[in-house]
Amino acid sequence: MTESPEKQRIVITGVGLASPNADNLIEFRQKVIDGQSGISEIDLRYVGRVPAGICSFAETKYRKKKENKRGTRAGCLGVYVAHEAINDAQIDFTEYDPNKTGVYIGLTEHGTVETENEIYNISQFDYNTDYWTHHHNPRTVLNNPAGEITMSLGITGPHYSIGGACAAGNAALIQGAQMLQLGDVDLALAGGISESTGSFGIFASFKAQNALAAHDDPAKACRPFDMNRNGIVVSEGACLYTLERLDDALKRGARIYGEIVGYAMNSDARDFVLPYGKRQAECMIKALDRAGLKPEDIDIVNTHATGTKQGDIEECSAVREVFANSSSTYINNTKCIIGHAMGAAGVLELAGNLQAFEDNIVHPTTNLENLDPMCNLPNLVQNEAKKIKNVRTILNNSFGMVGINSVVIIKKYE
């Protein structure tokens, strides 16, 4: 592989996250290795009791309760993880100009929660719109979570959201890398956020589609690749990375978690909800080509699989097609542990695997009691973590509705 000049090489130097089972990277890594679930049960308006992932983190660590009340849950999650990422990267904005810092946030959707809440509010007043809140528009504009982050950190460079269904987190990571490569910014905060657990409509829609998971034990509700899987567990979550050009990161002596060496996005151009393995395989191959890597160079494939019948099979067919001759590639899934964090899913799941560069452990795919033969991938790491010789590359899949696919490849920086 020919290496790009250092100004074109993009590295991850900081991670901030909120997952249903952790509020920082170290704890998160341990929990995914142990397969410790973050899924519980919530009682949702109109829908009732459903398994879901709710994050517990220090909501007032970086801004006042008043600001959390005014803003959105996505903004609250975003502000927390943005500060955590900046702190983790040891950036104090003396080395970077806030005007040359960009905030790129992947969202599956935004405004659904706020709109549902407001309709419920005016239902208490006979649907008189005089009681509709003035906070509605600033809360529901699509740039809301990114904008709340800039206000909290005093970042004056560009901020916007990337709408990419459940591929959005990866899409934002790609956007951040590209903006750095273009020289549009010198520092990027990129990743994804989801507040979807606040929306009854999202749960009800999955249920109507027969794609909402149910299980007596909420921790076992999300079971990708298992014969008895019965759908998605919706989670909230957020994960942001600080991205820098390699030369800048080296200059300031930053710790480097990994390098974004390959990425790709494509479209199924086919169906509103059904995924399509052929395009997913093409997307993985495109990312490998961009990275100058062969399938056998990939040590871990972190799958997108959500626990739906067809979705899991489609992805397994794609992984099988691309990695058929790669006996040293191990496969896992993170949603079985944390649920589907929608816009945050790709980046959060990547974070769960990132420290494999340090510990050489492939975290397990949990809740596998009866493996679906259609999902029986060689080297699928089942139920117990697996230590392998050397993890140098991770390929992260993230796909979404209306046929959007994203793949990111991260390489250990050596």
Partner 1 sequence: MTLEEIKNVIIEIIQDIDEDADLSSLNPKEALRDQLDLDSMDFLDIVMELRKRYKIQIPEADYPELASLDSCVNYLGPRLQSS
Q: Active-site residue numbers?
A: 166, 304, 340
**Residue from 72, 145, 60 nearest 103 by CA:** 145
Residues between 332 and 361 that touch partner 1 (CB under 8 A): none
Q: Which stretch binds partner 1 (CB under 8 A): 62-70, 172-180, 345-353, 367-375?
A: 62-70
Q: What angle do CA 193, 307, 238 make, to 5 degrees?
A: 10
- Binding residue count for partner 1, defined by CB under 8 A: 11
Interatomic CA distance for residues 355 and 258, integer angstroms: 9
94, 126, 134, 325: which one binds partner 1 (CB under 8 A): 134
**Residue from 275, 270, 279 nearest 310 by CA:** 275
* Lookup: tokens for 156: 């004056």
Interaction between residue 69 and partner 1 (CB under 8 A):
yes
2, 5, 43, 65: which one binds partner 1 (CB under 8 A): 65
Q: Which stretch binds partner 1 (CB under 8 A): 112-120, 123-131, 219-227, 305-313?
A: 123-131
Interaction between residue 46 and partner 1 (CB under 8 A):
no
Q: Which stretch binds partner 1 (CB under 8 A): 59-67, 175-183, 304-312, 360-368?
A: 59-67
40, 56, 99, 133: which one binds partner 1 (CB under 8 A): 133
By residue count, the chain amounts to 414
Backbone φ and ψ of 92, nearest 5°: -120, 15
CB 70, min distance to partner 1, A: 7
CB 69, min distance to partner 1, A: 7
CB 138, min distance to partner 1, A: 8
5, 66, 272, 327: which one binds partner 1 (CB under 8 A): 66
CB 66, min distance to partner 1, A: 4
Q: Which is nearer to partner 1, 65 or 389 (CB)?
A: 65
Interaction between residue 130 and partner 1 (CB under 8 A):
yes
CB 67, min distance to partner 1, A: 10
Interatomic CA distance for residues 329 and 337, integer angstroms: 21
Interaction between residue 64 and partner 1 (CB under 8 A):
yes
Place of tokens 């308006």: 45
Interatomic CA distance for residues 356 and 163, integer angstroms: 29
Q: With b meaning 16 or more CB within 10 Å and e meaning fewer, what string describes 201-228?
A: ebbeebbeeebbbebeebbbbbbbbbee
CB 124, min distance to partner 1, A: 8
Interaction between residue 389 and partner 1 (CB under 8 A):
no
Interatomic CA distance for residues 147 and 140, integer angstroms: 11
CB 123, min distance to partner 1, A: 13
Q: Which stretch binds partner 1 (CB under 8 A): 133-141, 154-162, 367-375, 395-403?
A: 133-141
**Residue from 25, 32, 100 nearest 257 by CA:** 25
131, 214, 358, 378: which one binds partner 1 (CB under 8 A): 131
135, 252, 286, 386: which one binds partner 1 (CB under 8 A): 135
Residues between 162 and 221 that touch partner 1 (CB under 8 A): none
Query: For the CA atoms of 35, 362, 211, 397, what is the dihedral angle to 10 degrees?
Result: 150
Q: Which stretch binds partner 1 (CB under 8 A): 61-69, 168-176, 222-230, 273-281?
A: 61-69
CB 120, min distance to partner 1, A: 14
Q: Which is nearer to partner 1, 60 or 209 (CB)?
A: 60
Which residues does residue 49 pair with via DSSP β-bridges, in sequence order?
43
Binding mask 220-259 for partner 1 (x = CB under 8 A): ----------------------------------------
Q: Which stretch binds partner 1 (CB under 8 A): 63-71, 82-90, 152-160, 287-295?
A: 63-71
Give contact residues for partner 1 (rule: CB under 8 A): 64-66, 69-70, 125, 130-131, 133-135
